[in-house]
Structure 1
Amino acid sequence: MKSNFTFQNLCGTVYRQGNVLFTPDGNSVLSPVGNRVSVFDLVNNKSRTLPFENRKNIATIALSPDGNVLMSIDEDGRALLVHFRKGTVLHHISFKSKVHHVSFSPDGKYIAVTHGHKIQIWKTPSHLVREFAPFELHREYTGHHDDVVSVCWSKTSRYFVSTSRDMTARMYTLNPLEGFKPKQFAGHRDVVINAFFSDDEKTIYTVSRDGAVFCWSAKRGVSEDDSDVEMDILDAPSTSASGANLALEHTVAYTRWGVSNRHFFNQPGTKVVCSTFHPKTSLLIVGFSTGVFGLWEMPSFTSVHTLSISNEKISSVAVSASGEWLAFGAAKLGQLLVWEWQSESYVLKQQGHYYDMNTISFSPDGQNIATGGEDGKVKLWNASSGFCFVTFPEHTASVSTVEFAKQGQVLFTASLDGTVRAYDMVRYRNFRTFTSPTPVQFSSLAVDPSGDVVCAGSQDSFEIYMWSVQTGKLLDILTGHEAPVCGLSFSPSGDQLASASWDRSIRLWSVFGRSRSTEPITLSSEATALAFRPDGKEICASTLDGQLSFIDVEEGQIKSVIEGRRDISGGRKVDDRLTAANNAASKYFNSVTYTADGSCILAGGSSKYVIIYDRQEGVMIKKFQISENLSLDGTLEMLDSRKLNEAGPINDNEDDGNGSDLEDRLDKTLPGASKGDLSKRRYKKEVKTSCVRFSSTGKSWAASSTEGLLIYTLDQETNFDPFDLSLDLTPENILLKLNKEKDFLIALIMSLRLSEKQLIQRVYENIPISQIKLLSKQLPSIYLIQFLNFINDHFENSPHIEFDLLWTASILTSHGKFIRQNKNQLASTLRGLIKCLMNLEGSVARLSDQNTFSLDYILSQIDRNEKDNGGAIQNGLSDLGIEIDI
């Protein structure tokens, strides 16, 4: 079993806080998600999460104009300089105070950072050379009396305007100028949120939180000698030739600015939260606290477009370089929108679960992942693209379990609202709802392999209910447990149902037999989860004392136990009175699953770790830390003694009523409430894993955590086996065999030995079609798994579909006996192949449907034209007295 799984993507959460921004080409949107950054490709319809992590939740991000360098700053002012294309961290720096805004200059040479009531300008480090002291401070600017909120650069990168909570804006020059004094823009009655330069830099716009927009332009001065004589708009200190040239170069700096127009949005009962400006089209985009955003054309202040996207405030707004797309982030809803304002249509609309994510399930082909949350929503995510493509809102309470049917496109969900629902994955509708005779809360779910029977375990009546999917009728009620049923699972053959309960027992039910009597299998503690091995001969059960018990199904006895208390033990929480080593609260697993071949166990719990165990040896293979975010409780092993006082720990997540808006400072929740509105709760979120599942292909696994849906995949590129290597096995010799000697088999085997993906692809694509059948027969069986895995990857990323299909058919025909004999080793590879073929089939079907509709439309237009032309001809002939039936 390979364990080199690496983090691939973060789904389930699309936006948390901070600012969203577009890439310079306008094709992708960057969104902060916790302490990570997700990139949503709007053209290719894919998303990816950059592999780096900040220490805490990200407060603000900035991307260089060339798109090479990303600056990510967390809530404490610790920043990472990241190579955006590679996702690798180049440098670290701590600004030692909270940073509200960071911005690259248009030429990319400088970085402006707000530092309390000051502004710091740093020289941008090179992303090509590793430097010992990469960050060099250019200048520090003072003048504001309160925190600086934003910084806006001019197009020439010579000046910038800063806005502050002291209700003023100030303009500074990058380099000192003779006789220049910072310009102050005053007159607003609330916090100035943003300031913008017009495209010709002759106008400056300032936007305040109370909904006022001031237009600042050059005003004509007055001569000191004669009050009736007006001077030029330039206020240069020198009248010499050099002074005049300097004044012309720095017109903006020497201009005397004054208010030319005052505009107001006149949105009652709302405040401006965010704004941005597109200089080329002079469009001002503003987001309000009521969920309304609007576009105004400046300087005439003409309203172009206004739309309400939600009832919660818009936290961030960005505009693409072309000005066509607008990106909005709503922190309270966890929503990210990309709006094309000209066509008035959504380019992207994604929203995660409003509260925590409880459960997940992979589809049988491994292409989709279903998630259920505390908000009662069931969402379907595409595993490869990372996008949510359908949401089911029918449940009225927390969703406890989701499960796909092994055969057929059906998804089953169980909820605490007392219903089990079945969803059609073709038409995306709820076609069946199962209820119990008396209202109960369902905490577990199991589906028969045939998909004809569904069972659910209750949390309050301790019974198991069994329904027929075809008729929707209740078939049976299984009684015997004396505590809530926390886990249900059908055996792969479908003849037995296993149930785990808090009464420290596991029961095996012959649901299709005549006898309903079962003997409980006693566990050492309360059970929390269970899973069947893929062959159906063994059950793994996790208990509250941190053990994994393995039960032989035929004998009904516990064969072995893995002690996992020390492995799963996580960090120390803020309010814990015990150290992490002595605290038993996080030392148990709440979810277990077998790998596709049954050789390993994947387990997670209320901890920051997810662990893979080897089943035969009973040892831990690898431990994954799902998050390093210090904003979450339970990440640190030891607490910081500097944050302790006589009353206990100081919760650095409390804002003590210092919110920027009145609604942020009010707390209307009940004391001690642990669930509900995320933005109003006064407690620190805990790092934990509520559910882990392996994909049927065996190449990836997913975990529902506090951060969202984490997906880990096998890192195929690092699989390098030096066995059978020799000195003459070089890329040059491989290309020599391929191009000159035309020895395709030797070239293919040599490339597989080196295990370099690009080299294998070059050899693979240069093999003639006529040689495929012969090479398939001659290919040694030892390279079969590696070669099939390469074909699977080539299927997904290459347009040579027919070529891949010919190779697949030839290999399956030539090595069918070997595949049948070693089906356990090849199971994950073959499932991956089936996934690729089903994905291909779906793409071809959709393309065929589109072509059919297009052809029908063209034919209907031809018939219509023929009728129109025929009618015109007939009218012309009738005028001549000739009657012809066309």
Structure 2
Amino acid sequence: LGEQFARLSALEQSVLLWLAIVREPVSLEELLAVLDAPKPRGQVLEAVDGLRRRSLIERGHRPGSFTLQTVVLEYATTLLISEATSEIKQGRLARLIEHGLELATAKEYVRQTQERLIVTPLLADVRSVYRGRVEVEERLLALLDQLRAQAEYAQGYGPANVLALLHLQRGHLRGLDLSQLVMRGASLRGVEMQDATLSGALLRDTTFNEAIDITWAVAISRTGQYWAAGSRRGEARVRREEGRRLHLAWQAHTDTVRALAFSPDGGTLATGSWDGAIKLWDIESGALLWTSWFTDNIECLAFAPDGRTLASGGDDATVQLWDAASGTHRQTLSGQSGPVFALAWSPDGRLLASGGFDTHIRLWELSGGQPGTGVQILTGHTNWVLGLAFAPDGTQLASGSWDDTVRLWDVASGSLRQTLTGHTDRVRAVAWSPDGRILASCGFDQTIWLWDVDRGSYRTALHGHTAGVYDIAFTPDSRSLLSGSDDGTLRVWDVERGKCVHIMQGYAVSLYDVAWSPDGTQLASAGSNTLVTIWDVEGLKPLRLLRGHRSLVYGVAWSPDGRFLASSGLDNAVRLWDATTGEARQILQDPDHVNTLFYGVTWSPDGTQLASASYQQGVQVWEVTTGARRWVGRAQPTRIRRVAWSPDGTQLASGGDDGSVCLWQASDGTLRASLQGHRGMVMSVAWSPDGTRLASGGGSRGSGELFVWDAQSGERLHTLSEPSEVVGALAWSPTGVVLVSGGSDGTMRWWDMQRGECLAMREGHQGAVQSLRVSPDGRRLASCGDDGAIKIWDLQSDEQLRMLRRDRPYERLNITRIRGVTEAQKTTMRALGAFEDVPVNSIQHL
């Protein structure tokens, strides 16, 4: 083979090495696209024919494609690594300029193979030449300087190759000078680049982190033209060109987008959210066509096959039918004894299936405009039903449940055909391939299962997500599957190969709660990144990261004596930590329901008890020393976001998504009062320092609600006009004269409670304000929100004192005069911490 290679022309050698890099059959057009310098099509075709005549390449499985024979592939890979090592040692790059070793735009499984079989062995060879870590890095950095001195057209793939080696060597690219370099095919997704500079750099075919939040819903239009994703923070994104191009991105809701549905003609997109709204959008322009509001959360949506009716399900235990064109309510289907989590229409539009909290699946008959009637109840699941999908031929219904199973039902008889087992945790969604051959399911075991329905067994399991997978959708040709996960990624899978072909890496950390230590020197925060973080108030970096939660952490609270921290999250646990060492001390759970989702958490004033809010399982109170649950208050069968202990420790207040505010006797859980008046969800409750008043904040129908109640009589004392769509956080001043509110638009307001007037307004956070806490000395206010930042304010003057935030991936990355990226990409990079220098002559002096 060595002799044959030596007799090849330069172009033939280059093509051979390129085929070793791409590692799978390619067409002539695909080969032309990756060549460093444009070559005439005829010359490249001649080179390919020459290699074929020498029996070095063979035809691929796709028409018009070709690839290397296995033995030649191994030889060419070894040769490429050997020549690259020699070039690095000699400081004269040729192959490394002409060939990209790890291509960012390659299919993900190919890119991973390139890193494993080419870049990693090459780095090992370089390390054998330059023994020390410092020596290796110095050599690679010297090559970057050498490339920077060359003309842009002459740099080729050189900088991207050196960057791949540096990333593998260092684990990050922090602090590097990458200015004035040409980077082609560089993968900057998931790479930390704090304090680096890309000033004046030219980027081509490069991938980045995206400022996308955790995806809880995905959908693909029937034609495949549009792909949609809905996030935990209420954002919606629509992509085109098989997910490669962002078409629209907007703040669709003020809370989690739990449901997405394309109309059958692909012209509109329906979104449903925990903010209680259903909205219909024109997909081409992004225009809002109509909005319908509910008091409680929206959990699922489904268009009828004819596109004329939209069905919705939510926490009010009903199925609602809407006129899709106008948003007019048509009818209500009642019968489920708890929240409705899943809906699916039969292909002929005659049946609507619903499933949810009560573990049952109901089939409703809808025809001829007549009122819907329940015709069957399918029983068998032993936990919540979260996913439903009819087979394309309408004969079977698939269901996925939190009992870890997928079940197939015969639609005609209502009998159970088979139970598919394999998931090791709760199943979140199911989807049938349009050709009817494959059923996909996903869940909290981080795995997507593909089932061969005819054989009644699993076909393959798709691994790659590092957290629970929330939703899945097939492309119309059944060849690809889109998935969204709690790990912040959207992934595209090749169904036939069972491999990931594309990853959209997101980074967006929300902080849901913040708490002061009793001495006021430290802060603790809880966030969507599963971490509890302890901060030095006077420092800039976190002191400790407490790891243990497996999903987002919604609440954090310091014990009154400062020895312990309590945190609560959606991983069904309230955790106790040693505040000094960060060690986990205790886990409190719901003894009746192992899957209870916990929200806010608070200590009793004497430090002997903990209370937590939950979804559908009420307010729960534990004795800290024994870990035993003392009582449960179940008057609010809804999502309770926050609980607050009265200053004297005798009462607990809670606010629910159903608009209720409840007061509980702390000793035994007796319901003392239910305060009615909110028209929408209650996001926050806060006691005045003297315990005589209770403030509650929330939102309904696009307008914020802020009430102050007399805690003894239950009378509403004040109704404050809050411009934010939702009031998410509240805090009283020590005197009880001032109340501070934080809204979904990031605005903070200081209210004079004697006059009921707004004293001051500050732009607090980018995105919603999630929590407000006054320091023990009463002088400072801490706020946190969806931008992942903690801000500390002077409570009296309302001036910001400092900001605490963990570095984002591109923090302080200089992108001044960067080229080859779109404005949308620059916006994303800035959202992740990058900046641009402002030219002196562009500064306007006022």
TM-score by length of 2: 0.39
Normalising by structure 1, we get a TM-score of: 0.37
